[in-house]
Chain A
Amino acid sequence: MTRIYVPRDTTAVSLGADEVARALSHAADVQGVDITLVRNGSRGLFWLEPLIEVDTGAGRVAYGPVMPEEVPALVEAGLLEGGAGHALYLGPTEDIPYLKSQQRLTFARAGITDPVSLDEYRAHGGFEGLAVALAQTPQQIVDEVKTSGLRGRGGAAFPAGIKWQTVLDADSLTPNSRYSGQKFIVCNADEGDSGTFADRLVMEADPYLLIEGMTIAGLAVGAETGYIYLRSEYPLAHGVLNDAIARAKAEGYLGDNILKSGKAFHLEVRLGAGAYICGEETSLLDSLEGKRGQVRVKPPLPALKGAFGQPTVVNNVLTLAAVPFILAEGGSAYADYGMGRSRGTLPFQLAGNIERGGVVELAFGITLRELMQDYGGGTASGRPIRAVQVGGPLGAYLPESQWDTPLDYEAYADMGAVVGHGGIVVFDDTVDMLEQARFAMEFCAIESCGKCTPCRIGSTRGVEVIDRIRDNQDRDANLILLHDLCDTLEDGSLCAMGGMTPNPVRSALQYFPDDFARTTPSPMMEKS
């Protein structure tokens, strides 16, 4: 029987995928054609969403982007038979160059399967890593992760194997605590950086991958409880995760005796409540404990005193999602990808003003120019690219002169930039960089947890100083003041929120000085 796939992830749905699915069912009914409609996860080729795939038995062919009102014409042109007679026909999905040239380790299954089908997960290599881990000692699992060279994908890039070793070796006995003897796995799914959506896509398109990765982490360090701290801005991911966890529990992949191994692992989703700072791991832990999401002073490290005062692995979604491959294929297979000390692959996320936005998973070492031009196809507006913000709202704005540096943690650090979580936000030449610098300060003021003074107050002063520069009040002195303020934020803040807000501000000043030297505000921007 013909299988038709219509994605159910946030982006596809935000562009009408549910309506497309309804229209297809209706059209098939009218034609009297028997189809199986599968709501798969997205392939991450967001510029082609909603992307319909049709499998008549001869492999999957794609059509996209399909608007609901185009369905009747597509059916007329032979979509239900996988026909090529429509302008939206894209040929075999796997041959789309954007997809074909990627090195998909983490996203190998994304968009291929029904995200909550355990049968399909198993049929596509799912739980092979877990099977290996169940046959190993905790130390063997940790060693495999060390061999892989995997570093934290949330942005800090700390070696995952070393963190796991610390938790494995940690003493979990804490007299007088109801949590004594416990360790925890906490997945940081508070993907708040603008321009990032790879965590979301893992959770919506392949949730068992994260569940498997967390279970392996639990086996590795001796933790029997895991929490996924998910941002409330991801309602669709929330539903998919809860559904997947319930199904995994029902089939014995989670619970007191996982796959009859005698080992236990319990998993629960906890919702954030709209605070960017809770993506910082210590704020996240306080929030998980039911407190204000304020940053903790380190030490103690969360690995030793994390959730509820117990030893805790806090890893990003992508870090944990890389683990099943590492266990199934071996750490060295993962380490074969990448460059320098940045091993493996990173799912880059092309966002903002880009013609072909989406997830591009590749080994470290590609350049921004290659990503934005070969994959992204330039801006969506058709105008020249002027600035690119890499690594979220705390990342630097990079001008064209910096687009040929290989994307690698160390190479980026050397130029005062960050790879972060791999988000790439493209701006065309209408962008006013003074406004972007102002927004960086404004965002810090809104989202600061308030614990340390430079971040809490410095950010508000930063907005005021930039407003004075914009209004040409004592400009030279205010520019000096702005640099000084950036130094104070960088040196005096407790965490990366205040410490890295200077990145976008300074890079805007350094690379786009003209935008700070106008005598009248840019006509492109209205004051906000």
Chain B
Amino acid sequence: MPQAPPNVILARVQVIVADLKHMPGALLPILHRVRDTLGHIPADAVPVIAEGLQITRAEVHGVISFYHDFNTHPIGNHRLQICRAEACQARGSRALEEHARARLGIDYHQTTPDGEFTLEPVYCLGNCATGPSVRIGNHIHGRVGTERFDTIIDRAITVPLNPEPLTEGDA
């Protein structure tokens, strides 16, 4: 997403901290909302959060770095996750991973040059009876073969004037 000026970003973080700091165990809810609002957790947010919760910057940093969800740099327009866990492996996810890398020209934790996709591994989406599974944004897709993967990618980067149902032909 487009980057707002630094003072605007900090003001947003301050509002989030003020809103949530009274919750028991407020740090994760704050970090989630900062990420959802800004797309990532910028380094400048750390001292603001630390000050608001009366904990050290090291503690905030330690929590951010512990969890896979909390990216500290901007990512692509779409967070694209491929399930690497066993049930999806049993349905061909290793081949799907190879296809995804080749199709997008990137490896895990990288963003396509056009800024559309950031590819990430995920360990189980709870869709284990109908793998391989892929998550894009908050949408989870099942039985994702290579063709269906390409369809998902194509639909994400184009804005259809007449959306048609996503079909499931290549399971």
Contacts and interface: CB of A to CB of B under 8 A. Distances in A.
Interface stretch (A99-107, A241-249, A353-361): A353-361
B157 interface: no
Interface in B68-114: 68-70, 85-91, 94, 97-98
B63 interface: yes
Nearest to B32: A271
B28 A16 contact: no
Given A351-B87, A526-B94, A194 B63 contact: no
B63 A291 contact: yes
Contacts of B14: none
Interface string B9-29: 000000000000000111111
B65 to A, nearest CB: 8
B122 interface: yes
A276 B84 CA distance: 13
A528 interface: yes
Contacts of B24: 179, 289, 308
Nearest to B27: A290
B133 to A, nearest CB: 7
B123 A194 contact: yes
A527 B133 CA distance: 21
Contact of A349 (B70, B86, B129, B135): B129
A194 B124 contact: yes
Q: Interface residue tally of chain A, by bracket?
A: 35 or more
B126 interface: yes
A11 B130 contact: yes
A456 to B, nearest CB: 13
A384 to B, nearest CB: 13
Contacts of B68: 273-275
Nearest to A13: B140
A191 to B, nearest CB: 6
Contact of A425 (B28, B98, B128, B166): B128
Contacts of A272: 28, 67
A15 interface: yes
Given A10-B127, A232-B69, A16 B86 contact: no
A519 to B, nearest CB: 22
A82 interface: no
A182 to B, nearest CB: 10
Contact of A233 (B53, B86, B135, B142): B135
Interface in A15-47: 15-16, 19-20, 22-23, 46-47
A132 B6 CA distance: 57
Nearest to B169: A67
B71 to A, nearest CB: 10
Contact of B133 (A14, A20, A276, A427): A14
8 contacts: A14-B130, A191-B126, A194-B85, A273-B32, A289-B25, A357-B129, A358-B129, A439-B86
Given A19-B166, A288-B28, 12 more contacts: A14-B141, A15-B142, A15-B143, A194-B86, A194-B87, A197-B128, A236-B140, A270-B28, A272-B67, A273-B70, A380-B91, A525-B94
Interface of A: 10-11, 13-16, 19-20, 22-23, 46-47, 49, 67-69, 179, 191-197, 199-200, 232-236, 270-276, 287-294, 308, 349-354, 357-358, 380, 389, 393, 423, 425-428, 431, 436, 439, 443, 446-447, 449, 525-526, 528
Interface of B: 24-29, 31-32, 53, 59, 62-63, 66-70, 85-91, 94, 97-98, 122-131, 133, 135, 138-143, 165-168
